[in-house]
């Protein structure tokens, strides 16, 4: 027997604000969160812009001592999880701990801690490296800390699949509930990698936009003038419950997750295949898993990073999967507003997709001023659009050619 999995709560730490209401309002308004980097002096880097989380105070969400012993990506995750549980109206102490678990995604993990402690080693010697270095830095610590914080002793794991990590985590949490291995799962992704080393690495790959004089216009998915993605940070955490558990406690349901598909490019360590075949494979498998026909999908939240090759390949993948319906499908990239939060991106985009289903408003792809002839679909340019959305997909594609698509359905009881 497969159990249905429903979304009952969501929490977000984003460059557009702390909390889902602030995030959603800004998405609907088509607001850009990109600006000059303030977390360090980016002089000398070809790219000097990012989408940073502002006004975040970890002490608002966790014990001050624990905050000092946690990397920024873990702090984000704890904050987003606390907000998600509050949104779900779920008291962690009222849940059977063995039936509650955590699966989170991250692309890089504790990069800020890694860089800080390497500096300590170089400047002051090995005796000055913190005993908390390893537990603060390792990628699984956010999932571990959520279990510690909320007392969840059920399934616990971390997905580290680059930019697909948040979506992979949600998919695996979905499977966990489907199989009856848990009744409640905290899932999503967290990333806090806006540090000089990460920026330099992506600059060396020529992956980032260098529109330093126009930060708000730098992330422009599917536009002819796109020149790379914009680095971002943040976290999105979702409360997934079995339908039976949610009904038993009278929970409000935001949306239902109904499909999960994965496929590999098997092509290149960083570049996508020109035909987008891996993304197409993930979408086909998600549709099959959800028992959806292509024409039944009303909206696609695209991976849409604003890289020349990536956006072109994703467009070809959509056409390959949806055929003529591709031209009737509403598509948008929330990365146009919040940049690319790497392992947190899939979780934040899942939240945006669930809100689209709940409210009947499709967030726009901003900065669409010069359509690319190779990207000729309906990308909901520049303004949000009211629409009755019954079923939607969310794409997340990662370095290494790891592709994930999640399928959601509007909840109608």
Residue 362 CB contacts under 8 Å (≥ 6 apart), including other chains: 299, 330, 332, 356, 380, 384, 385, 386, 387, 389
Residue after which a domain boundary falls, among 230, 248, 266 = 248
Range of the domain at 373: 257-408
Question: For the chain, how many structural domains are there in total?
Answer: 2
Give a yes or no: residue 378 inside a domain. yes
Residue 70 CB contacts under 8 Å (≥ 6 apart), including other chains: 58, 62, 78, 136, 141, 145
Residue after which a domain boundary falls, among 248, 266, 287 = 248
The residues pairing with 301 across neighbouring beta strands, listed in sequence order, are 332, 394
Q: Report phi then psi at 339, rounded to 5.
A: 70, -165
Can you give the pLDDT at residue 413?
78
Can you give the pLDDT at residue 25?
98
User: Is residue 183 located within the same domain as residue 158?
Assistant: yes
User: Is residue 168 located within the same domain as residue 311?
Assistant: no
User: Is residue 78 located within the same domain as residue 207?
Assistant: yes
Can you give the pLDDT at residue 196?
98
Region of 269 please: left (phi>0), alpha (psi -120 to 50) or beta.
alpha
Give a yes or no: residue 2 inside a domain. no
Q: Report phi then psi at 105, rounded to 5.
A: -120, 150
User: Is residue 201 located within the same domain as residue 263?
Assistant: no
45, 47, 303, 375: the active-site residue? 303
* Count of beta carbons in the 10 Å neighbourhood of residue 93: 8
Give a yes or no: residue 43 inside a domain. yes
User: Is residue 173 located within the same domain as residue 303?
Assistant: no
- Is 163 tagged catalytic? yes
User: Is residue 78 located within the same domain as residue 165?
Assistant: yes
Instruction: Give me the CATH number covering residue 50.
Output: 3.40.47.10
Give a yes or no: residue 210 inside a domain. yes
User: Is residue 232 located within the same domain as residue 381?
Assistant: no
User: Is residue 46 located within the same domain as residue 116?
Assistant: yes
Give a yes or no: residue 108 inside a domain. yes
Residue after which a domain boundary falls, among 248, 272, 294 = 248
User: Is residue 155 located within the same domain as residue 131?
Assistant: yes
User: Is residue 151 located within the same domain as residue 107?
Assistant: yes
Distance, in Å, from the CA atom of 176 to the CA atom of 170, rounded to the nearest integer, reads 10
DSSP-H helix ranges across 72-164: 72-88, 111-124, 133-137, 141-150
The pTM for the full model equals 0.98
Residue pair 245/183 in contact by the 8 Å Cβ criterion: yes
- Is 118 tagged catalytic? no
Q: Is residue 12 classed as helix, strand or coil in its secondary structure?
A: strand
* Count of beta carbons in the 10 Å neighbourhood of residue 372: 19
Can you give the pLDDT at residue 53?
98
User: Is residue 240 located within the same domain as residue 261?
Assistant: no
203, 245, 340, 375: the active-site residue? 340
Give a yes or no: residue 413 inside a domain. no
pLDDT per residue of the chain (413 residues) written in tens, 0 to 9: 799 999 999 999 999 999 999 999 999 999 999 999 999 999 999 999 999 999 999 999 999 999 999 999 999 999 999 999 999 999 999 999 999 999 999 999 999 999 999 999 999 999 999 999 999 999 999 999 999 999 999 999 999 999 999 999 999 999 999 999 999 999 999 999 999 999 999 999 999 999 999 999 999 999 999 999 999 999 999 999 999 999 999 999 999 999 999 999 999 998 999 999 999 999 999 999 999 999 999 999 999 999 999 999 999 999 999 999 999 999 999 999 999 999 999 999 999 999 999 999 999 999 999 999 999 999 999 999 999 999 999 999 999 999 999 999 999 87
47, 163, 203, 375: the active-site residue? 163
Residue pair 137/193 in contact by the 8 Å Cβ criterion: no
- Is 245 tagged catalytic? no
Q: Give how far Cα 14 sits from Cα of 29, 136, 164, 166, 339, Å.
A: 15, 21, 18, 14, 10
Q: Give how far Cα 197 sits from Cα of 51, 113, 132, 204, Å.
A: 16, 12, 21, 10
User: Is residue 297 located within the same domain as residue 229?
Assistant: no
């Amino acid at each position: 027997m497969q159990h249905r999995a429903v979304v009952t709560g969501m929490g977000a730490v984003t460059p557009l604000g702390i909390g889902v209401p602030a995030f959603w309002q800004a998405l609907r308004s088509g607001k850009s969160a990109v600006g000059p980097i303030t977390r360090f002096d980016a002089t000398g880097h070809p790219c000097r812009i990012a989408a940073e989380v502002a006004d975040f105070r970890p002490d608002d969400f966790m014990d001050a001592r624990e905050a000092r012993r946690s990397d920024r990506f873990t702090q984000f995750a704890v904050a987003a999880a606390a907000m998600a549980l509050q949104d779900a109206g779920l008291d962690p102490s009222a849940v059977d701990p063995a039936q509650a678990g955590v699966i989170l995604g991250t692309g890089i993990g504790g990069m800020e801690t890694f860089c800080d402690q390497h500096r300590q080693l170089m400047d002051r010697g090995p005796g000055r490296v913190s005993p908390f270095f390893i537990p603060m830095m390792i990628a699984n610590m956010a999932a571990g800390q959520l279990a510690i914080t909320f007392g969840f002793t059920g399934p616990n794991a971390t997905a580290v699949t680059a930019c697909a990590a948040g979506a992979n985590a949600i998919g695996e949490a979905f499977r966990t509930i489907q199989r009856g291995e848990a009744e409640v799962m905290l899932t999503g992704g967290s990333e806090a990698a806006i540090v000089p080393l990460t920026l330099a690495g992506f600059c060396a790959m020529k992956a980032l936009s260098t529109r330093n004089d126009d930060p708000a216009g730098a992330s422009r998915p599917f536009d002819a003038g796109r020149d790379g993605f914009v680095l971002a940070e943040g976290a999105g955490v979702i409360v997934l419950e079995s339908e039976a558990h949610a009904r038993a406690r009278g929970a409000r349901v935001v949306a239902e997750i109904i499909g999960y598909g994965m496929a590999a490019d098997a092509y290149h360590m960083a570049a996508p295949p020109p035909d987008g075949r891996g993304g197409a494979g993930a979408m086909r498998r998600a549709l099959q898993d959800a028992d959806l026909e292509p024409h039944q999908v009303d909206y696609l939240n695209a991976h849409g990073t604003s890289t020349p090759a990536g956006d072109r390949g994703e467009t070809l993948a959509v056409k390959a999967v949806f055929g003529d319906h591709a031209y009737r499908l509403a598509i948008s990239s929330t990365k146009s507003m919040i940049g690319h939060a790497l392992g947190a991106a899939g979780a934040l985009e899942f939240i945006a997709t669930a809100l689209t289903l709940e409210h009947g408003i499709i967030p726009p792809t901003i900065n669409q001023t010069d359509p690319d002839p190779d990207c000729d679909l309906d990308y909901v340019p520049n303004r949000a659009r009211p629409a009755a959305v019954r079923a939607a997909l969310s794409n997340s594609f990662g370095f290494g050619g790891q592709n994930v698509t999640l399928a959601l359905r509007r909840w109608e009881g």
